[in-house]
Structure 1
Amino acid sequence: MPALPAESQPITPADAARLLTGRCFLIGIGGCGMSGLAREIIARGGRVRGVDATLTEVTGSLEREGVPVGVDDGAASIPDRCDAVIASAAVRQEHRLIREARRRRIPVLTYAEALGACMAGRTGVAVAGTHGKSTTAAILGAALIEAGLDPSVIVGAESAALAAPGEPARGHRVGAGVIPAGPLAGKPGVFVAEACEFNRSFHRLRPTVATIGSVEADHLDVYGSLDAVIEAFARFVRLLPGADEGGRLIIAHEGAHRRRVAAGARCAVETIGVAPEADWRVRTGARGEVTLSRRGGRPLVWINPMPGEHNAMNAAIAAAAALTLGAGPGAVASALARFPGVRRRCERLGDRPLARGGSVRVYDDYGHHPTEIDATLRAVRAREGIDDRGGRLVCVFQPHQHSRTRFLLEDFARAFARADEVIVPPIYFVRDSEVERSRVCSADLVERLGRAGVAASHEETFEAIVDRLDRTLRPGDTLVVMGAGPVWKIARSFMARAAREPAA
């Protein structure tokens, strides 16, 4: 390996890119983004091993491809020969394997630093914003694939659009280092990545093109205030290259903080939204029709397969970015119209028969912020025609992080106004301190929901919730299971139990 700076000096993107061609050890390798990073490193000539808290389908697929994966059970250790340790965003710096790496003077990279290194020598595209990153990035990847640009894509959720035919859905795709064919043949390959603002991770990326769909208060345990969030996005924008170097930002026109975020940009800035003065104008019509038109250009029209105005905007942002990168309009429209969706993003699992007759419709959704919850419930009510045909909209919502729940408690209470009933299990937490966990609990959210006029209750275990759903759901109801933690198990368990029940 090339010589690296002394340990006291920061690792530059160029140094990090060289490290990725060596022997890399990934902590948290089973995550959607980290597993994609592992494959990208291998494609660049590096060698990968890793550990995760549990072995899953994702780690199993890596092992079948020749990547050794162990369980991070307290006994695992870094291999004797290791050039770099890469830790997922969920891994704390106090983790024993990170301490071991520092003791052995092995360079330690965050996931974001490694992702930024992957953009070196490519046309990097960063999909940012408080909401909609995974969906927008996956749609963009699908459009670029359809257009023959052979992109690399790493996002935080799985989609069949990024997998080869016949393969299971995945959250990544390894593409070419250069565009292989067409009018852009020979130009640097496109690398699309979801750009997460948590802990200012997106400051480690060096994209040429970026999109920002929304900027709202979130991760306040890190930022402390909305102003700090806005400044973090503004700094991210300032990292983009100048317009003369191809730097370009596509940002939501209706975003409340758009001007502050884009104020210091050196890159070209284009807005996208429903307003007539937006550079890219988005209009929605009946039956999911979306029209995207750029000033002076021919409109792009498609039928959006995903429900909700928010998903129409996600698709439009992806389309604008794809066209900016040189994708043909026909290919873009085709990809958007056929997009299969993203796992746990308003994902319709199907109709679940009830033992006493009839059935309920079941959705699984990742929403864990009030804005996301409101958008999903709007979309589901409209898609299922609940207000016209009747039936209840019942939600199981697992709050994600005590800190987020405390900071946004009143917003959460308002977000469920379109639900007829909400069941709340214990809060899922990863990084909350014991003090933070003592400040708020699920009962506080239940109390606020009740005060807002929403029928709400708490259940302590997932099994109790599934039992309750079996007893209380009625034919014609719609169930939405929501949250960023393991709450998806409730939706899957509820669906699976139907096969074990006697027919009515």
Structure 2
Amino acid sequence: MASAVPTAMERPHFIGIGGAGMSGIAKILAARGAAVAGSDARESATAEALRNTGVTVHIGHATGHLADDASCVVLSSAIRQDNPELTAARERGLPVLHRSDALAALMAGRRTVAVAGTHGKTTTTSMLAVALSGIGLDPSYAIGGDIHGPGSNGHHGEGEIFVAEADESDRSFHKYAPDVAIILNVELDHHANYASIDEIYDSFETFARNIRPGGTLVLGEHPGADVVAARVADRDDLTVVRVGRGAGADHRITSIVAHGMTSEVGYAVDGTEHRFTVSVPGRHYAHNACAAVTAGVAAGGGAVAELATAVTSYTGVGRRLQPKGTAAGVQVIDSYAHHPTEITADLEAVRDAAGDGRVLVVFQPHLFSRTQQLADEMGAALTLADASVVLDIYPAREDPVPGVTSALIVDAARHKGADVVAEHDKNRVPDLIAGMAERGDLVLTMGAGDVTDLGPRIVARLAGPQA
């Protein structure tokens, strides 16, 4: 299925092109024939993967990186307004598009599935993309994580379906008008943009109301998702399908049996039970898989049985309980979890995988605003680990807030009886973990920042001081 590139996007320049959301869009545009260029703050495997598809990637941000013939600039909410490339684009009168505007343009003319929720978006979107691909439908997709390796977060497919992760953090998911939407869960997060849970509900309601007439809303088993569903109950042109273990589920999860790093799932739809394996541990991942299957069917992507079978080929996505290696009998796994609900879910999930061994966590808080609001809950979640190392806050797009440091989390965790140490120097962590870990233990690096870089270094250090 061919797709034209809008004139304004024939020669786009991406500021922050290596980002999880940005790079996938850039890759799709390049596959559709656009001459894509961009810049990023640092070199990365994603930048190199983009270059291999013909994209021009500059490292660093400078006015000279913006080509004379650029047709527009694409950016995310993380880009500051004083960025030199953005300033140059405005001086030249170039169109400036938010990442979500570019993605919405790419979805035009396709049958679209948009996956939303406070937690689980990337995993569920990836599962659906893998399942649809597995039955030969070749969907397009844009995901906030890599399915196979660097640069695999975006794909231009010849099929009619487009699967997209829908980000609520900056309300950018309001730009989409999907045929099928998933709302997995709704909780208060992104405190710099939302002042209350009611603002979050309002935002998700707007997203749900944008579903096209005759479309489908797939709901995860979560009180917040139910609130949103109740708010759009006046839409007679919308089919709502609830997925979960409770009696109120339309498609019911009948069983989840853990087997180390996998789970066997029973899923009953219209009186028929289907059984399949999810190749990542944890109840929440089983729920994500079932939501993906239901959404795939609603989008015309095949029958429940074939999609459930196809989703078994999903082997994980980058940073979502991603194995980083084993050395000296110690498993090292990387997790993107940064909200207390996610931290709790992933720690519960890996407990089975650890068997009789201990679970050791290296946690890097993400954002000052989130830490300020949720430090106590983060500390409580860390009590599920046998021992934790807490790093300094990863600021991302935020400036420091006086009095807000990772010490708030450390103090909260210790107050609740957790074994926690603070470490300000990330480079000391491999040695620190090597001194703590014993054969049979599982180490979990956790957070949405650059803590992910520590996984391979910990494995190497466990293998030996000279490794």
SS in 1 for 2:268: strand
Instruction: Return the alpha-carbon distance in structure 2 between the equivalents of residues 272 and 448 of structure 1.
Output: 35
Q: Is the 8 A contact 1:234 1:262 kept in 2?
A: no
Instruction: Return the alpha-carbon distance in structure 2 between the equivalents of residues 133 and 151 of structure 1.
Output: 17
1:425 is the counterpart of 2:391: yes
1:173 corresponds in structure 2 to 155
1:237 is the counterpart of 2:225: no
Instruction: Return the alpha-carbon distance in structure 2 between the equivalents of residues 137 and 431 of structure 1.
Output: 25
Distance 1:97 1:448, change over 3 A: same
Q: Is the 8 A contact 1:17 1:114 kept in 2?
A: no
Distance 1:93 1:484, change over 3 A: same
Instruction: Return the alpha-carbon distance in structure 2 between the equivalents of residues 74 and 47 of structure 1.
Output: 19
2:114 corresponds in structure 1 to 126
SS in 1 for 2:14: strand
Q: TM-score, normalised by structure 1?
A: 0.86
1:452 paired residue among 413, 416, 420: 416
SS in 1 for 2:187: coil
1:279 corresponds in structure 2 to 250
SS in 2 for 1:340: coil
- 1:454-476 Cα deviation digits (max 9, x unpaired): 01111111121211112222222
> Given residue 142 of structure 2, which amino acid in structure 1 is its aligned partner?
I
1:258 corresponds in structure 2 to 226
The alignment yields a C-alpha RMSD, in angstroms, of 2.0
Question: Which residues in structure 2 correspond to 1:13-24 (within 5 Å)?
Answer: 18-19=6-7, 21-24=9-12
- 1:399-455 Cα deviation digits (max 9, x unpaired): 000110111111112111211111111100022234x2x131011211111001101
Instruction: Return the alpha-carbon distance in structure 2 between the equivalents of residues 54 and 431 of structure 1.
Output: 15
SS in 1 for 2:170: helix
Segments of structure 2 that go 5 or more residues without pairing to the other structure are none
Moved more, 143-152 or 42-51: 42-51
Q: How many residues align?
A: 456
Distance 1:100 1:75, change over 3 A: closer
SS in 1 for 2:378: helix
Q: Is the 8 A contact 1:262 1:269 kept in 2?
A: no
Question: Which residues in structure 2 correspond to 1:344-383 (within 5 Å)?
Answer: 344-353=319-328, 359-383=329-353
Q: Is the 8 A contact 1:23 1:84 kept in 2?
A: yes
**1:502 CA drift (Å):** 6.5
Instruction: Return the alpha-carbon distance in structure 2 between the equivalents of residues 409 and 255 of structure 1.
Output: 23
Distance 1:192 1:131, change over 3 A: same
Q: TM-score, normalised by structure 2?
A: 0.93
Distance 1:225 1:439, change over 3 A: farther
2:361 corresponds in structure 1 to 395
**1:19 CA drift (Å):** 3.9
Instruction: Return the alpha-carbon distance in structure 2 between the equivalents of residues 276 and 84 of structure 1.
Output: 51
2:71 corresponds in structure 1 to 83
> Given residue 176 of structure 2, which amino acid in structure 1 is its aligned partner?
L
Percent identity over the alignment is: 37
1:336 paired residue among 305, 311, 317: 311
Question: Which residues in structure 2 correspond to 1:51-450 (within 5 Å)?
Answer: 51-160=39-148, 170-176=152-158, 179=159, 189-243=160-214, 247-264=215-232, 266=235, 267-286=238-257, 287=259, 288-294=263-269, 296-326=270-300, 327-353=302-328, 359-385=329-355, 389=356, 391-434=357-400, 436=401, 438-450=402-414
- 1:167-205 Cα deviation digits (max 9, x unpaired): 7672122101xx4xxxxxxxxx11111001011011112
> Given residue 325 of structure 1, which amino acid in structure 2 is its aligned partner?
A
> Given residue 365 of structure 1, which amino acid in structure 2 is its aligned partner?
S
Q: Is the 8 A contact 1:282 1:293 kept in 2?
A: yes
> Given residue 292 of structure 1, which amino acid in structure 2 is its aligned partner?
Y
